[in-house]
A and B are shown apart, each in its own frame.
Chain A
Amino acid sequence: RKEVEQDPGPFNVPEGATVAFNCTYSNSASQSFFWYRQDCRKEPKLLMSVYSSGNEDGRFTAQLNRASQYISLLIRDSKLSDSATYLCVVKGNTGGFKTIFGAGTRLFVKA
């Protein structure tokens, strides 16, 4: 089992749609969780951190379920510019703060 697993996609959605990405992680001791965005042939960039209480940033909402070891990202009112790969990232707080990147979920938003 992979340490961090994501739906590979791709997700093809029309503009204005709501899309949800899921991510599961295997290490119950993981402490920090993030979503990164990676545009085609570009470097990853932090989209948002994921907190136990859930957090929202404009059209983006991230949630964490520690009991189920599950993280989600919801994008509302999709824009063409949201087309990218979304990486789920999990970090521990021991062993050198090991950071594990998921393989990513590809999103295409079409007009």
Chain B
Amino acid sequence: NAGVTQTPKFRILKIGQSMTLQCTQDMNHNYMYWYRQDPGMGLKLIYYSVGAGITDKGEVPNGYNVSRSTTEDFPLRLELAAPSQTSVYFCASSYSRSGETQYFGPGTRLLVL
């Protein structure tokens, strides 16, 4: 199993550009999450999904959108990139929402200039 994979690993965007961060898991997990991690800060939940076709906002959803058309994929969309969105983005999955272990992808480093 590859676990949770994310692409790209690193990206530089100009203000106002858009992009999609890809996330795929092969563990047949129902629950998937997007976090952002700023330097010296804890992970903040952006969006989460409890299954295909179902998504919900986390703590910091503004400026982002998600979709979940399949169990495996959970892309994160930035429509109008802003410098405040410079961060490291982690996708994670778990067997259940109450489950103990969240498995994280390797992260996407995004720089918005």
Mark A residues whose CB is within 8 Å of B: 4, 8, 32, 34, 42-46, 49, 87, 91, 93, 96-104
Contacts and interface: CB of A to CB of B under 8 A. Distances in A.
Nearest to B35: A101
B106 A99 contact: no
Interface of A, secondary structure class, is: strand
Given A99-B45, A100-B42, A103-B41, A42 B106 contact: yes
B50 to A, nearest CB: 9
B101 interface: yes
A32 B40 CA distance: 23
B100 A99 contact: no
Interface string B75-113: 000000000000000100000011011101111000000
A16 to B, nearest CB: 29
A43 B41 contact: no
A22 to B, nearest CB: 15
Contact of B42 (A42, A49, A103): A103
